[in-house]
Amino acid sequence: METTTEKAVTSGRKVKSMKDLADQKIYGAKKRYDETAKEEAFKDVSVFNEIFTVDWNLFDRIAADPAHEFHNLVVDMLSVLCNKGKMSLKKTRLTSEHKMKRFKDVTTISKAPWIAPNDQISGIEEVINGPGTEHSVLRIPYGWPTMVNYFGEDIKKGKGI
């Protein structure tokens, strides 16, 4: 049986109302609550559904939010590897890290071991944007944001930073 937000909210409200009766010490309510709680998949209603009603589709958000976070992680990792965008290592940041006794071996930004050399960046660009940068080798699932070209016009225009 497919679970929808409406079914989940109905199930949660049913159990919650029985719990409220049991908490009031009404005769037989505790037994009815225990039986209902065993039968129903949801024991309460999400605060989001209480505020936004069933229009807030929690199930879609459970699937979409991790995908969104994964996208942000990939964008941040590319920024670190390519030393571009919001995660790039700047001289002031390196000085600050040295004051905190970190990255002692990194004397200049070009010596940071996590920053990919230009020839490796070209390989990353080809995977992301495709050979000749016409078609992406990576497939983007429906509903995800498009990939940012970290190596071309997108980054120059300030996208993905």
Domain ranges in the chain? 5-56, 61-156
Q: Which pTM was predicted?
A: 0.45
pLDDT tens digits for 127-147? 766 665 555 666 666 776 666
Amino acid at 29: A
3-class DSSP string for 96-148: HHHHCCCCCCCCCHHHCCCCCCHHHHHHHHHHHHCHHHCCCCCCCCCCCCCCC
Query: How does residue 161 score in pLDDT terms, banded at 50, 70 and 90?
Result: very low
How many whole angstroms separate alpha carbon 75 and alpha carbon 79?
A: 6
Which residues touch 71 (CB under 8 Å, ≥6 apart)?
A: 144, 145
CB atoms under 10 Å from CB of 68, counted, come to: 13
pLDDT tens digits for 13-33? 999 999 999 999 889 999 999
Query: How does residue 101 score in pLDDT terms, banded at 50, 70 and 90?
Result: very high
